[in-house]
Structure 1
């Protein structure tokens, strides 16, 4: 049974954007994992680039990578179970309003995408690609862009 908590940084496609969400968190249960895996198989089988579906259960936040890193570096966080880790992170990750939130599924990965409230698609927010292999464990994952 899958019960994975993922926290990821977010990048806006508009380099000049300010006051937009900087991170997102979500819990992936067994049903969501199966849906993502089935869609990845569909994308691969039909030689597609991607498919996507609306997903409203993610928490988009203005909390930045440094603030998240401060929490994840704490001993209490490191020695807690996934539920307690989620609670600790949600305390520092107040929600930001977004529109059109989707999970975009590719053959080997997926990503979350949304628009900040009252913005156009020139302000799209995206997470880095999250490998499907990340779904194999229930360990909390902190996803950042590759360096």
Structure 2
């Protein structure tokens, strides 16, 4: 076997180009940091507080465990008693045990069947809520044609 002439690779990375790229990258990062600092000035603009001022902390709960216990007791009371949620709208609450018993004994309502209120829209209610809506005008026309 004949020995081949050995010489360095000529297609390798040139060190000057690599150093120039690294220097350019560092320069870009430095200029970007300076630009961000100038655009988004994050220095505080308020005046320092006088040293004789006593700082009070935020208004925290004095007794958080007792507050949580009282809150949960109020929730439990509401779940176990009858009461009005909105008397004018006719929305009431019933004890949760009674509600579960009603579902067990009567089952869930069939939501796929239209109710009487859904088949006969209340035009007065719709007109009062949104008087100039096209739905209100259509409702009144349908009610007038159905009579």
Q: TM-score, normalised by structure 1?
A: 0.18
Instruction: Work out which of the two has the higher radius of gyration on C-alpha atoms and give 1 or 2.
Output: 2
Q: TM-score, normalised by structure 2?
A: 0.18
Structure 1 or 2: more strand by fraction: 1
Structure 1 or 2: more helix by fraction: 2
